[in-house]
A and B are shown apart, each in its own frame.
Chain A
Amino acid sequence: DAGITQSPRHKVTETGTPVTLRCHQTENHRYMYWYRQDPGHGLRLIHYSYGVKDTDKGEVSDGYSVSRSKTEDFLLTLESATSSQTSVYFCAISIAVIGPRVDEQFFGPGTRLTVL
């Protein structure tokens, strides 16, 4: 899993509850990403980060916020969880910093989130 850990690995919560998912990496990689994976939709980018305090929106960012106060941690927050946010969430990193291989992304083990 490219030295990436995600926590929690499984979570069940109720609608309207705030939820924070954590992605942790130990190699000081610059680029980090949050995706969600749903049947029929594949992997979709939620937010990404290109450095400490530098983040940007992805394709499906509504209802999600992120923070990166340290290189090693990238947090994804659902301010008020909804049933439509039930999904598997993957964190990913890019190992390279420059050149064509910077586009290669490596994924963490995932977090399965259920919103009741």
Chain B
Amino acid sequence: QKEVEQNSGPLSVPEGAIASLNCTYSDRGSQSFFWYRQYSGKSPELIMFIYSNGDKEDGRFTAQLNKASQYVSLLIRDSQPSDSATYLCAVKGYGGATNKLIFGTGTLLAVQP
């Protein structure tokens, strides 16, 4: 069973701090990794994607991929109350049908003012 696992949280951080969200995956051949943000009652919104080992930065967001250890992380710098949401990790498996993503259950982030 291919799985993507996340701590459900809530992860509580003070405003201005760095929030660190983690995701582990079981399929060693996975090649594409995505982070979605989902506000309560809304649809998931793609915020980061990463295809190769290492880090990718976009504004206050940094995605880190470690294929050897099979985990991907999302760092949010200078966290704001507006970052409070559930963050979903998604993984594209190797050899699977085109475009199929496997989602984790999400981590709830609460940024305290």
Name A residues whose Cβ lies closer than 8 Å to a Cβ of B. 1, 31, 33, 40-45, 48, 50, 56, 58, 90, 94, 100-110
Contacts and interface: CB of A to CB of B under 8 A. Distances in A.
B22 to A, nearest CB: 15
Interface of B: 32, 34, 42-46, 49, 51, 88, 90, 92, 97-101, 103-106
A97 to B, nearest CB: 11
Given A90-B43, A106-B46, A110-B43, A41 B98 contact: no
Nearest to B100: A45
Contact of A42 (B32, B43, B103): B103
B34 A104 contact: yes
The 5 A-B residue pairs with the shortest CB-CB distance in the complex, in nearest-first order: A42-B105, A43-B103, A107-B43, A103-B32, A42-B103
A108 B49 contact: no
A44 B92 CA distance: 13
A102 B97 contact: no
Given A43-B88, A48-B97, A105-B34, 15 more contacts: A31-B99, A42-B88, A45-B101, A50-B98, A50-B99, A58-B100, A94-B99, A103-B34, A103-B92, A105-B46, A105-B99, A106-B46, A109-B42, A110-B42, A110-B43
Given A90-B43, A106-B46, A42 B106 contact: yes
Contacts of B99: 31, 33, 48, 50, 94, 102-103, 105
Which of B43, B49, B100 neighbours the largest number of chain A CB atoms within 10 Å of its CB?
A: B43
A43 B44 contact: yes
Which of A31, A44, A103, A110 neighbours the largest number of chain B CB atoms within 10 Å of its CB?
A: A103
Contacts of B45: 107
